[in-house]
Chains A and B, each alone.
Chain A
Amino acid sequence: MSWTPSERQQERDAYRRSRARRSTAVAVVSTVALVAVAVLALTSSPGWPRVRASFFDWEVAQESFPAILEGLWLNIRVMAVSAVLIVVVAMALALARTLRGPVFFPVRALATGYVDVFRGLPLILVLLLVGFGLPGLRLQGIPTSAVALGTLALVLTYSAYVAEVFRAGIESVHPSQVAAARSLGLTRAQAMRHVVLPQAVRRVVPPLLNDLVALSKDSGLISILGAIDAVRAAQIETARYANFTPYVVAGVLFVALTIPLTRFTDVLARRSGWVGAQSSLAGGGALR
């Protein structure tokens, strides 16, 4: 291409570059100022030396790190197993609610009732009821380990949320898609399987990953049943050193675990094709 920008365009570009430099400078200054104020406010507070000693002890952090990391590995495994189970159960629930016909009335009613109940129950109550109630039944085949019961409670609660995400996705597919599929002779089930679900699942991937982030944190709640996960390990280390630093270490580890997930969600949500019509704005940048 033999195009060279006109003088007017060069002048515009120069102006934009100078604005960009100015914006960067302003951002740096304001960030530094904010951090400085926050640090100053923290360190100049009267109790700071004691807080630093009991929450930010580098030696305790180093000593307790391996145990907490091992606990985190349990969180990761619980999260992975429950994520798979949640997606399966939630999809079954969402599909059950789309069934038509009088035969399926009990299935529909059960699925609706299940979602209503488990969306309303606080997770911590479900954990306590499942964790201490189920083994009390002394039934054959019911697991008694805190990890298995904790995972079960997570699956019970989260599949209710995720079922609603799937259902929203299914309902977001325009009825004309179903009309087109049915007009070709596809059955209701075939239309769901081959036309509605593929589109629905693509649309709900960002909110699903969002729930996965929440799950990764809530996996720490199984510690109340006695499972030695990162939170429980931090508790033990805290007691051992009579110092709260292990909690901070566990917190940092959880954040480090969820940040990649969060960023991945953002990227997916932005990627064209996932969000349909909005993709035409991608790359357009902010309007002046």
Chain B
Amino acid sequence: MSPGRLRDPGLQHPPTLDPPLLSVRGVRKAFGDHVVLDGLSLDVRSHQVVVLIGASGSGKSTLLRCIDLLEDVDDGVIELEGQDITDPRLDANAVRARIGMVFQAYNLFPHLRVIDNVTLAPRLVHGTPPEQARADALAVLERVGLAAKAQAFPDELSGGQQQRVAIARALVAKPAVMLLDEVTSALDPELVGEVLSLLTELKSTGLTMVVATHEMGFAREVADEVCFLHEGRVHERGTPAQVLENPREERTREFLRRITG
């Protein structure tokens, strides 16, 4: 564990002095002839929220799936807390257990109740005793405002509620970093708000997050850093004000023009 995670966020050095919690360097990933990530590099520091923007197919999801080891990289290095997690000799399950991932389509387990969705990994992966796992799950469901739905099945919940359960499920194991892959894209507009305000609240607790999104308002409000992905690389990066208000690159301007209409 790096010293950065133990430190009280209020007392930390300016972020630039922290060693990166997550470091992606020169990552390449191709599906057949289609090169999705072409030597992409990205650093994420503790307690930082990095927002990935970019057109569909620009590699946002692929990058997150590579970090969570759901895809093997073709080249390059990904380090989590100083450890090269792309090393094939490493136990990938143990690495995934330290990373929380939330998917666009929630991917809740439909045959399990909400509480069992949340306690599954603590019981099976982290060896938490059942009673403790239950208490932890209820606490985290309380945080996402769904403790009352603990006994419901996923298909009895609204999309926004399901996504909050998915966030709780990823959160319960106290991951070093949370990866969120367009978590509001499948939601009705009126339900987007409840998920985004939950993420805003999680940021305030110091959670490190990498968020792929099309919600520019959310990016502006919550991101410490915005990365614009284009042609398999980070084409432009900076604070939300820099990238979203005064983009230097022509491609970034074009993308922002297109999505804001």
Contact = CB atoms under 8 A, between A and B. Distances in A.
Interface of A: 176-177, 179-187, 190, 194-195, 198-199, 202
Given A190-B124, A194-B124, A183 B99 contact: yes
Interface stretch (B21-29, B52-60, B103-111, B193-201): B103-111
Nearest to B99: A183
A126 to B, nearest CB: 36
B111 A182 contact: no
Contacts of B68: 183
Contact of A184 (B65, B97, B111): B97
Nearest to A198: B111
Contacts of A179: 65, 70, 103, 107
Interface residues of B, number: 25
3 nearest A-B residue pairs (beta carbon): A185-B97, A180-B107, A184-B121
A164 to B, nearest CB: 22
Instruction: Give the dominant DSSP class at A's interface.
Output: helix
Given A182-B96, A184-B96, A186-B93, A199 B111 contact: yes
Given A179-B70, A190-B124, A184 B105 contact: no
Nearest to A202: B111
Given A179-B70, A190-B124, A194-B120, A185 B96 contact: yes
Given A186-B121, A186-B125, A180 B94 contact: no
B111 A186 contact: no
B173 A185 contact: yes
Interface in B103-136: 103, 105, 107-111, 120-121, 124-126
A194 to B, nearest CB: 6
Contact of B124 (A176, A180, A186, A202): A186
A176 B111 contact: no
28 contacts: A176-B105, A177-B107, A177-B109, A179-B70, A180-B101, A180-B103, A180-B107, A181-B109, A181-B120, A183-B99, A183-B101, A183-B103, A183-B170, A184-B96, A184-B120, A184-B169, A184-B170, A184-B173, A185-B97, A185-B125, A185-B126, A186-B121, A186-B124, A187-B93, A194-B120, A199-B109, A199-B110, A202-B111
Given A176-B107, A177-B107, A185-B126, 17 more contacts: A176-B105, A179-B103, A179-B107, A180-B109, A181-B120, A182-B70, A183-B70, A183-B103, A184-B125, A184-B169, A185-B93, A185-B98, A185-B125, A186-B124, A186-B125, A190-B125, A195-B109
